[in-house]
Chain A
Amino acid sequence: GQQVMQIPQYQHVQEGEDFTTYCNSSTTLSNIQWYKQRPGGHPVFLIQLVKSGEVKKQKRLTFQFGEAKKNSSLHITATQTTDVGTYFCAGGGFQKLVFGTGTRLLVSP
């Protein structure tokens, strides 16, 4: 079956440093979604990418969908303590939405 892997599993940065998480699928994806889950909370939708090579920005967050539509990345510029949480990618459509294992981000002030 379809598998979605994320790396790294965990990253600890100092506030102000950049952070990137990578998402890789074993199959071509129709779309990729990104969610953020704060500690003790529930996942919250961040963005959806649909087109090959698509890049979208949300303030300090940059999302990219690979040309082959099998990988994606989330880059955070100049992290803040409010960025703490686990970031999940999820690939496919609503019947086949497969979540990655997540990257847990810890930011020290």
Chain B
Amino acid sequence: DGGITQSPKYLFRKEGQNVTLSCEQNLNHDAMYWYRQDPGQGLRLIYYSQIVNDFQKGDIAEGYSVSREKKESFPLTVTSAQKNPTAFYLCASSPTGGIGANVLTFGAGSRLTVL
């Protein structure tokens, strides 16, 4: 089955630690995204990538970093510089052309809690 796999599903972190969230897709989508979701709020874009070795900041990129070394993978690092990292993190991908262009397929999400 094609889809997006995020890991870990739950993660606990002490203040001052960096953590990396994994996102892998086998949909052959060119574009990948990271969103943050806080309770009662919509999804806010952290970073996105339209092609390998290239990525762009979204609306709330401060305190986060990404890499796109492979088409299938788009890991997100939550650094110690992120002031309020406790949230639900969603990875998504989409085609950039043809039928279904720009329609997002989401992973199951990673819930990060800072202790």
Contact residues of A with B, CB < 8 Å? 1, 4, 6, 9, 31, 33, 35, 41-45, 48, 88, 90, 93-95, 97, 99-102
Distance (whole angstroms) from the CB of A38 to the closest CB of chain B? 11
B101: interface (CB < 8 Å): yes
Which residues of chain B come closer than 8 Å to A97, judged between CB atoms?
45, 102, 104
Which residues of chain B come closer than 8 Å to A93, judged between CB atoms?
102
The complex places the Cα of A4 from the Cα of B42 at a distance, in Å, of 10
Which residues of chain B come closer than 8 Å to A33, judged between CB atoms?
102-104
A42 engages B108 (CB within 8 Å): yes
Count: A-B pairs, CB below 8 Å? 53
The complex places the Cα of A100 from the Cα of B109 at a distance, in Å, of 19
B31: interface (CB < 8 Å): yes
A-B contact pairs, 26 of them (CB 8 A): A1-B59, A33-B102, A33-B104, A35-B104, A42-B90, A42-B106, A42-B107, A42-B108, A43-B43, A45-B103, A45-B104, A45-B105, A90-B43, A90-B104, A94-B50, A94-B94, A94-B101, A94-B102, A95-B48, A97-B102, A97-B104, A99-B35, A99-B44, A100-B42, A101-B42, A102-B41
Interface size class of B (residues with CB under 8 A): 20 to 34
B80: interface (CB < 8 Å): no
Distance (whole angstroms) from the CB of A56 to the closest CB of chain B? 14
Contact residues of B with A, CB < 8 Å? 31, 35, 40-45, 48, 50, 56, 59, 90, 94, 96, 101-109
Using known A-B contacts A42-B90, A94-B96, A94-B101, determine if residue A102 contacts B42 with beta carbons closer than 8 Å.
yes
The complex places the Cα of A48 from the Cα of B109 at a distance, in Å, of 23
A43 engages B96 (CB within 8 Å): no
